[in-house]
Amino acid sequence: MTVGEFWEAWKAYRDEKDADRRHLGELARGMAARLLNPFCKGAIREVDRFWPMPWDDRAAFDAETRRLEALPADEKQMEARKFLERIGMSYGEAEPES
């Protein structure tokens, strides 16, 4: 095997693993949306906005990740509260509202 063949094989292997990860991520995201939809105030129609994945829009994903990581603890807590309210749960509540 030449060096060029090795790198071709490595790229094919990496591409296959990336496709597997993406497939599993899409399954998990779809399942989470379907499980949470009955408990949400409004239906989750755009799963890529509900749970962004790295392959959706890398630049937007990275920007949002950096923004959230830079927030002080109290603002992170406020973001968590907003998310829970969006899906129909209260902060610190163990079970969804009925």
pLDDT (tens digit per residue) in 67-78: 888 889 888 888
Domain of residue 51, residue span: 3-86
Q: Do 84 and 78 form a contact (C-beta atoms < 8 A)?
A: no
Contact 53, 29 (CB under 8 A): yes
10 occurs within a structural domain: yes
**Global confidence as pTM:** 0.51
For residue 92, being part of any structural domain is answered with no
Q: What is the pLDDT of residues 44-96, one digit of tens each?
A: 788 887 888 878 877 776 787 788 888 898 888 888 888 777 767 665 655 54
Please report whether residue 97 resides in a domain: no
Expressed in angstroms, the distance from the first to the final Cα of the chain is: 62
Q: Which residues contact 51 (CB under 8 A, 6 or more apart)?
A: 29, 32, 33
- Residue 61 in domain: yes
Structural domains counted in the chain: 1
Decide if 40 contacts 96 (C-beta within 8 A): no
Residue 38 is classified by DSSP as G
In a domain, 77, yes or no: yes
